[in-house]
Every structure is written in structure tokens, then in C-alpha cells.
Amino acid sequence: MVKITFKMSDLGTVEVELDQARQLSQLLEEIYLNAGEKMGGIIAVRDGKVINFDDLVEVDDEITIFPALSGG
């Protein structure tokens, strides 16, 4: 079970059953489609490291998605 937590978003925490690793972009697309809403520019973090859209998400991963903001 992949657990994806969307911070500062109404999407909240979403759990997705996976048989095999999938690209983050595909996973997000599916979640956005089901929820009927989308989070724009994002930073995806797994184990303290940023992952990209084309990175593979493994079946037991926990991923946190943040809005891609910066300090000023």
C-alpha cells in the first residue's frame, strides 16, 4: 500500500494499492482524476529526499507532497 499525504491541500492522505512500482506522475494523475481536483506545482518527498515525476514509486512507499513554495 502506497501512502501519499498532500500537505496544505484538501486532498489529505490517499492510500493506493499497487502490484508493482509505478511512476509518480501516473500515480498522481490517477489520484487527481478520482478526487476531481489537482495540486499544482509540487515537491514530492520520500525518506527526506525529493523525487521527480518520472521516479518509480515502490509498493510500500510513503510520500509527502508539498506545494512548491519558497521562502522570501
Partner 1 sequence: MFSLLRINTVTGKAEKEDHDSLEFVLGGRTLSSHLVSEEVPADCDPFGKKSKLFFCNGSMAGTTVSSGGRLSIGAKSPLTGGIKESNAGGIVGMRMAQQGLRCIALEDAPDTDSTWKVIVIGKDTTEMIDGSFLTGKGVYEKSDLLSEKFGKKAGCITIGPAAENLLFASGIACSDPHGVCSRYAGRGGLGAVMASKKVIAIVILDDGEVKPEPVDQEKFKTGSKKIVDMLKENPVSSLFTKYGTAAMVDICQELNVLPTRNFTQGTMEGAEQINAQTMYDTIEERGGEGRTKHACMHPCAIMCSNIYPDKDGKLLCSPIEYETMALMGSNLCLKNLDTIGMMNKIANDAGVDTLDCGAAIGVAMEAGLAEFGDDQAAIDFMNEILNLTPLGRILGSGCKIAAQVLGVRHAPHVLGQAIPAYEPRGTKGMAMTYLSTPMGADHTFGFTLRDEEDPTSKEGKVELSKKFQVIGSRMDAMGMCNFVRYSVRHDMTPLLELIKAKFGVEVTAEEFDNMVKKTLRIEHQFNRDAGITLQDHRFADSFYQVAQPETGEKIDITDEETEQAMQW
- Scanning 17-25, 28-36, 62-70 for contacts with partner 1 by CB under 8 A, the matching segment is 62-70
CB of 49 to partner 1, least distance (A): 6
State the distance between the two ends of the chain, measured CA to CA, in whole angstroms. Answer: 37
Q: Count residues binding partner 1 (CB under 8 A).
A: 21
Report whether 4 contacts 65 (CB < 8 A): yes
| Residue number with CB closer to partner 1 (21 or 68) | 68
Binding site for partner 1 (CB under 8 A): 7-8, 38-41, 43, 45, 48-52, 64, 66-72
